[in-house]
Structure 1
Amino acid sequence: MIQSGFMDAANEHNDQQLLAGLEENVARLVEQLSECRKENELLKSEVSSLQNILRSFKLPGTEGPEVQVAVTSGDGFSYAEKLQIKQKLVMVLQKIERELRGEKAGF
């Protein structure tokens, strides 16, 4: 009977240690999740800002038919080069959005 009481006390102590360890792990995970959510919101804000910039980006030739496509602007980029840059930016933003959605689905 004494040995049984000793084992019960040891098991209870082990259970308490295990529970304390689990509580610490859960607290750490909650903290990491909170940090990830903050970072996610920041990234969403940056993506949104980049999207707004990209939407407001006007390429030569898009304002009206009177502008010639072959004209090079003062910054040294042709219309075709600017169009390629815009397309690449769109692809980068789409990739970022997919990654953000993928991470959100993982939570």
Structure 2
Amino acid sequence: MIQPGFMDAANEHNDHQLLAGLEKNVGRLVEQLSECRKENELLKSEVLSLQNILRSFKLPGTEGPEPKVSGTSGEGFSYADKLQIKQKLVMILQKIERELRGEKAGF
């Protein structure tokens, strides 16, 4: 026959192990959350920097004389290509910003 005190001691030991495991997992989660927050701040900073660059970006022909439209003759991108690239970059940055805001709302 099992002694009544023996079962209580075994349960108490299991409870302590379970609690210690939970505390360890919570500690790891807090560390991960801190790292994610740091990374999130870094990404926000990079997005802001890219947005500022795009805002200050002047396409050829937007100031002064009419834009010179060049073909693909080795002169680089045409005015239309540059405009399309800028529009795509703006759309990408807006999408990133929406995703960052969505993740922030999730916390």
Q: Calculate the TM-score normalised by the size of structure 1.
A: 0.86
SS of alignment partner, residue 80 of structure 1: helix
Conserved? CA contact 2:69–2:80, under 8 Å? no
1:62-104 C-alpha deviation (Å, 9 max, x unpaired): 225xx223434x9522221111010010011011112211222
| Percentage of identical aligned residues | 87
Q: 1:15 to 1:97 in 2, by over 3 A?
A: same
Q: Give structure 2 stretches of 5+ with no counterpart.
A: none
1:50 is matched by which residue type in structure 2?
A: L
Q: 1:51 to 1:18 in 2, by over 3 A?
A: same
2:48 is aligned to 48
Query: Between Structure 1 and Structure 2, how many residues are aligned?
Result: 103
1:5-53 C-alpha deviation (Å, 9 max, x unpaired): 1111111111100000000000000000000001001100100110010
- Partner Cα distance (2:12, 2:75) in 1: 75
Q: Calculate the TM-score normalised by the size of structure 2.
A: 0.86
1:74-89 alignment, distance < 5 Å: 76-89=76-89
* Alignment RMSD: 1.8
- Partner Cα distance (1:94, 1:44) in 2: 12
Q: Give structure 1 stretches of 5+ with no counterpart.
A: none
